[in-house]
Structure 1
């Protein structure tokens, strides 16, 4: 995002806006209370009267948007000042329209502070999140005040402003909601109800489908209130808590792009089980058609046209057409772009949130290891070390885990559990206890009351269903911090039982003795699930045809990478062919 061109910050000022009882007072500012050294930058002691639009515009033009903290503070001062000082409504609207590019840029940059990983409610960046949300809501409220004051004037004087004001209010309310998606936090109570009510207001005014100019909409440069509303619903339907920061940015942009291809009906559409339903009085978004009781008042969102459009776009991408020329964005790269769009076909094109394997209610607790080294320890009974002697390093693993996989000597593993627990504590390996909410054939939905876990989105973890069970590998498919501070997670199990490996990238000459071995895992193929064997290697290792030396048990062999199956926060899962023996140079059977 390119920074808007504004003059350097010279006179941004702050002052108390509300008294301790929350009562508004006449808002003028002096810069004696400026944060940091900002008070030294003033060129004039004249305070700003935010009831005067011209003074507000002068204040805005003196904001340096490259100083994020100062710019955020100044923008909040400006918006709060106008909110309580009641400027002339058309003048206030003019200022708000001028504020939009600067605010969009600054909030986009500031939100990066918490966008890279899930944000616990009590973390250091929580105030940053709240400040960004506060600014979006201030924009929404300021446009609302314009609506209220225009309504007191001659009705004919603001007919042409209704569509714009409705779209802007919806847009800034949806941006506040999007910040909670971005931070992997639960949407606060009543946010969805407020969104539904704002759209109902646009419908009552007869302007819901009227498009207005919106330069900040990258694809269309215009948007209606209905398109803004549908875009927010699409973002929620696309599992935003399961997306990486990059995917989430694309998701927001594409929701705006594809919203015009959806149809919002005023009631249920009989016989159309593929439609989403929407309850206007509910504090949530879209639900599958069968999820709401028949007697619940609801309207439907039809996505048939969107399904066809997504198919066309995917075909064009596969045919070599650039993502930017299709309106997907200059930063969209292949194959990640097509892969994400294909994953959106089911929730967006088929209006289906159904699961391949249904969840069933479950209770109890599961032991979770969040560090791969701890996972390997509980699999093998010893810490991972450099395999100077292959036989000595891995023979113990084959005599325990491999036999356990065949159903033998289970009592030996159980008898060693106390020893393993003591040894793990000495090494600093921790098993966290998570509560099971429900489960399916391929995973679990878990909850941890203490949300301070070191877990991250798309992280490789280990799971044990009880103290005697074998450690299995899993991936965090989504994370959500709830408002009360608990952490919920979706867990996708990897096929098992896995095997611990030592892996090392091979140099061009096939040998690179200077590089140490790293911890890896072999995921066996499962014919029933039609999956081939795969390797888990450190994050960032994948490159087509790159070779990896693998050591496990007494075997030493070379794996040549063929494809990237998935990329997580701390691992790459890759398909491979077993090329040749690293020790003898003789070919071995491909896997």
Structure 2
């Protein structure tokens, strides 16, 4: 039986009265949103007022998020139903184009889409393309209704107290350009505040305006890090170019304020660099360099060019070697040496992994990394996102190199790509890693990895592990293949999550203790 409006109001008041830590399960929010969708409201305010109450309750429960969401979680579904409520409001007879009611409904719809994006950013995961597409389409609909620039009261984030649909859209783009996955999670609420406050000065313009923009400030969003997926859709013909000219003075004014904490100043400097397209300022001295470098991407290729051999699970290595020895004796009478076989195998692997090796030119270097460039590679831009693991080699005929991560990326208008690479400190040792197998379950796969030993304390110390994302941030027990044997390791902390790697700390547990 359909709930009455009075019953729905009572449940909404209860949700707002309880403390966030005592909030009911997310499924109740979804059920309540369904009840609101099923009601027919006589006036626009009756619908929007109740949707606003549900929005405030949902926002209180999950800011920041307490547990990782899944794509099918009731929490995300409740936000999706809330967006449908505001969509229903935009189609209400009282929502006449250009009216304050219409502006309110469109702003709320965009706000909820941004709020869903923040859930994914808080969990350091990629925002689905459907959300970007939905946000962009919401802006286009608001423009057709002539309310995209009209501000309405909305202070759920604290500041600013009034927002427009366009400002919410621009704030989402600024947060994305800030590359939230490379920032500490505790900083994200401040990034959101800065983005909302400065969104007015972020100018996103059609690509045909390129000639009117100073080259120093023009940033093509399709060619800079990180790219916004929705802007690559066929129907997204606007907002392809970002002009930072109006934003730069406002950011500099913030930096000139007195009384800023050290963390806040560092955050503003980072945002200034990412929002204006300027390469990060280095604290270390830089030396000019014009030498050629080889850059390797993709885990199997990195492992091969670092060690000189293709990665194989430890159990497969011993089985394959036994088979090769028997085959060698049978076919060649034992006359073919290990060196000959190894050389043939390397030639085969060089051919296999060569597509992952590219030639770059160094621009300058510092004790912590490189600044490199590659001409005519604009079409390959998506291969080098910030947070990507790369191996840099100076000598093509020697295996090994420097493990680095991409810290920033730029695409110039003349077709060059510039990358800022930061070295992962320490002396890496190649290894293999797997999740600790559960008794009775199938064996877990092995993955290539590198571990950085604590040389000062030996086995008693805390070591670091560079591993693929497949290991996951929730892993607690791991097996590592070290010196031809398996050793147990207990994960202490995940230090960094990149585009295709994790850096975590661990200590040995021999024998393994569960």
CA contact under 8 A between 1:366 and 1:434: conserved in structure 2?
no
Larger radius of gyration: 1
SS of residue matched to 1:113 = coil
Give the match for residue 254 of structure 2: 313
For residues 234-383 of structure 1, what are the structure 2 equivalents within 5 Å? Answer: 234-265=174-205, 268-272=209-213, 273=215, 274-277=217-220, 284=229, 300-316=241-257, 319=258, 321-322=259-260, 334=262, 336-350=263-277, 366=300
CA contact under 8 A between 2:178 and 2:275: conserved in structure 1?
yes
Change in Cα spacing, 1:460 to 1:98, as seen in structure 2 (3 Å) is same
Structure with the larger helix share: 2
Q: How far apart, CA to CA, are the structure 1 residues paired with 2:401 and 2:241?
A: 45
CA contact under 8 A between 2:9 and 2:50: conserved in structure 1?
yes
- Among 3, 9, 14, the alignment partner of 1:62 is 14
Give the match for residue 436 of structure 2: none
The TM-score normalised by the length of structure 2 is 0.55
For residues 514-553 of structure 1, what are the structure 2 equivalents within 5 Å? Answer: none
- Among 37, 51, 67, the alignment partner of 1:113 is 67
Give the match for residue 400 of structure 2: 470
Change in Cα spacing, 1:475 to 1:247, as seen in structure 2 (3 Å) is farther
Q: How far did 1:104 drift?
A: 0.5
Give the match for residue 148 of structure 1: 91
Q: How far apart, CA to CA, are the structure 2 residues paired with 1:283 and 1:310?
A: 22
CA contact under 8 A between 2:387 and 2:406: conserved in structure 1?
yes
For residues 557-576 of structure 1, what are the structure 2 equivalents within 5 Å? Answer: 570=504
Q: How far did 1:269 drift?
A: 4.3
Q: How far apart, CA to CA, are the structure 2 residues paired with 1:352 and 1:462?
A: 21
SS of residue matched to 2:67 = helix
Change in Cα spacing, 1:221 to 1:76, as seen in structure 2 (3 Å) is same
- Among 142, 167, 171, the alignment partner of 1:231 is 171
CA contact under 8 A between 1:199 and 1:208: conserved in structure 2?
yes
Root-mean-square deviation over aligned CA pairs: 5.2
Q: How far apart, CA to CA, are the structure 2 residues paired with 1:359 and 1:140?
A: 49
- Alignment pair present for 1:126 and 2:66: no
Give the match for residue 221 of structure 1: 161
Change in Cα spacing, 1:360 to 1:213, as seen in structure 2 (3 Å) is farther
SS of residue matched to 2:242 = strand
Runs of 5+ in structure 2 lacking a partner?
A: 281-287, 310-338, 343-352, 363-369, 373-385, 409-419, 430-451, 466-501, 506-514
Give the match for residue 438 of structure 2: none
How many corresponding residue pairs? 356
Change in Cα spacing, 1:144 to 1:311, as seen in structure 2 (3 Å) is same
- Among 138, 142, 163, the alignment partner of 2:81 is 138
Change in Cα spacing, 1:139 to 1:342, as seen in structure 2 (3 Å) is same
Q: How far did 1:181 drift?
A: 3.0
Task: For residues 183-217 of structure 1, give each alpha carbon's deviation from its aligned partner in whole angstroms, at most 9, with x where no partner exists.
Answer: 33333344323222211222222222221111213
Change in Cα spacing, 1:467 to 1:139, as seen in structure 2 (3 Å) is farther
- Among 38, 53, 57, the alignment partner of 1:98 is 53
CA contact under 8 A between 1:460 and 1:569: conserved in structure 2?
no
Q: How far did 1:231 drift?
A: 0.2
Q: How far did 1:298 drift?
A: 5.5
CA contact under 8 A between 1:212 and 1:224: conserved in structure 2?
yes
SS of residue matched to 1:70 = coil
CA contact under 8 A between 2:391 and 2:404: conserved in structure 1?
yes
Q: How far apart, CA to CA, are the structure 2 residues paired with 1:518 and 1:468?
A: 31
Change in Cα spacing, 1:350 to 1:461, as seen in structure 2 (3 Å) is closer
Give the match for residue 489 of structure 2: none
Q: How far apart, CA to CA, are the structure 2 residues paired with 1:434 and 1:218?
A: 52
CA contact under 8 A between 2:298 and 2:389: conserved in structure 1?
no
The TM-score normalised by the length of structure 1 is 0.49
CA contact under 8 A between 2:83 and 2:112: conserved in structure 1?
yes
Give the match for residue 211 of structure 1: 151
SS of residue matched to 1:91 = helix
Task: For residues 312-353 of structure 1, give each alpha carbon's deviation from its aligned partner in whole angstroms, at most 9, with x where no partner exists.
Answer: 22233xx5x135xxxxxxxxxx2x322222122123134889
For residues 29-48 of structure 1, what are the structure 2 equivalents within 5 Å? Answer: 48=3
CA contact under 8 A between 2:153 and 2:161: conserved in structure 1?
yes
Task: For residues 492-527 of structure 1, give each alpha carbon's deviation from its aligned partner in whole angstroms, at most 9, with x where no partner exists.
Answer: 43478779775669xxxxxxxxx9555589xxxxxx
